[in-house]
A and B are shown apart, each in its own frame.
Chain A
Amino acid sequence: MDYTSLTDKELVEKSIKNDDEAFKEIIERYQRKVYSIAYKHCYNAETSYDLSQEIFAKVYLNLLKFDMVYRFSTWVIRIATNHSIDFLRKKKLKTISYETTFKDLDDQFSELPIPDNSYNPEVIWEENEQKEKLMEGIKHLPETYREIIILRHYEEMSYKEIAAVLKLPIGTVMTYLHRARKLLKDVFFKED
């Protein structure tokens, strides 16, 4: 049987009936997306591999709870996002809050490995050090801001899709996205 021609919902129905090949096809369809979401939360290949496996296990064990009215991809992404958030919560990362950032950004970030950067447009992103700083900055963003940045910039999702995954109004998604980018900008370009 050619599983590649089946729709997501047909594969779900078959997986519920213990058809392993059907679930394998689901894994193959979403492995890249799930792995990418996991990686964007931890920036570690090994950890994201483990996280991805756990996410697919969660998907499999909760297939009966999936409401066929909704899109399967949104449901999978929501599980992947929530599982990755839980992972970060367990690690108890200190996040910055938007309200206090503009009051005292230096203090908030003094513990982070993000040194002060005076304005330097010549800096290129190929430098790993800069990328690591950005990754650290993203990791320490408030939870919802981080998720929106990941879904928008990495998963290239529309505002509507992000709103569906995070269960937020579109207006809130847009506001949070603007704030998140501004936070990152302020971290990189602290004014003297």
Chain B
Amino acid sequence: MRKHCITDREIQDYLDGVIIGKARAQLEKHLEICSNCEKRMKQFQFIFDGLESIEVPELPVNFAEKTLAFVKNEKVRVLRRRTVKISIAAAIAFIVVFFIPLLNLLTLAGVNTVPVTNFLTEMKLEFQVFLNYLINIFNVILVLNSGFKSGQLLNGIIWGGIAVIFILFLKLKDRFSAIHQLMS
């Protein structure tokens, strides 16, 4: 006869019917003499019974027909959504490709397009500055990273972080000096 108490896992395996034969008989004998194990067994039995007791309500009538109709509607909705997405993408592509020729046409037709071209030039410059910053940061990371033989990625991240902070510091320094000049 087993002397030690039954584990929670064993109780569940017993209720699942996984424990069979001699082991099952030994476990049952232990249950007769150990009130603590018997109590835990009843608690688990209660949960097992509860899990079996929850019933699913009956399906509504004509469920299959109604669901098929729903599915067909969904298909139409998805197709429609896809069509709208493709149309938007096509429209954007059209504008991107034909924007400059359109602008030239408008200029030829006598429309004042100077504000638009000015705006575009400014945007282009801003974008170039931003891109240069990114390229500089990336270059610094690459240069620093290549110097390390082991733990390259981590070192690269650390030194890259320092480089970014340094660049930001320089940028802030420029800003501060500009503000200082304005104030003086």
Residues of chain A whose beta carbon lies under 8 Å from any beta carbon of chain B: 20, 23-24, 27-28, 31-32, 35-36, 39-40, 43, 45, 49, 52-53, 56-57, 60-61, 119, 121, 123, 125-126, 130-131, 134-135, 149, 153-154, 177-178, 181-182, 184-185, 188-189
Query: A184 CA to B64 CA in the complex, in Å?
Result: 35
Query: A57 CA to B66 CA in the complex, in Å?
Result: 12
- Partner of A20 from the list B12, B53, B68 (CB cut-off 8 Å) is B68
Query: A28 CA to B63 CA in the complex, in Å?
Result: 8
Query: A12 CA to B64 CA in the complex, in Å?
Result: 16
- Count of A-B contacts judged by CB separation below 8 Å: 95
Interface of A is mostly: helix
Chain B residue numbers with a CB within 8 Å of A185 are 8, 43-44, 46-47
Question: Do A49 and B60 touch (CB < 8 A)?
Answer: yes
Question: Do A153 and B67 touch (CB < 8 A)?
Answer: no
Given A24-B64, A153-B51, check contact A40 B56 (CB 8 Å). yes
- Partner of A135 from the list B42, B54, B75 (CB cut-off 8 Å) is B54
Chain B residue numbers with a CB within 8 Å of A125 are 49-50, 53
Question: Do A134 and B54 touch (CB < 8 A)?
Answer: yes
Q: Which residue of A lies closest to B58 (CB)?
A: A45
Question: Do A35 and B68 touch (CB < 8 A)?
Answer: no
Query: A20 CA to B73 CA in the complex, in Å?
Result: 13
Size of B's binding interface in residues, CB under 8 A:
32
- Partner of B47 from the list A43, A61, A135, A188 (CB cut-off 8 Å) is A188
Shortest distance in angstroms between A48's beta carbon and chain B's nearest beta carbon?
8
Given A188-B43, A188-B46, check contact A61 B75 (CB 8 Å). yes
The residue in B64, B65, B71 that gathers the most chain A C-beta atoms within 10 A of its C-beta is B71
Question: Do A27 and B68 touch (CB < 8 A)?
Answer: yes
- Partner of A60 from the list B8, B52, B75 (CB cut-off 8 Å) is B75
29 contacts between A and B (CB under 8 A): A24-B64, A27-B63, A27-B64, A32-B59, A35-B59, A36-B56, A43-B54, A49-B63, A53-B67, A57-B71, A57-B74, A60-B75, A121-B43, A123-B46, A125-B53, A131-B54, A134-B47, A134-B50, A153-B51, A153-B52, A177-B12, A178-B8, A178-B12, A181-B48, A182-B8, A185-B43, A185-B44, A185-B47, A189-B43
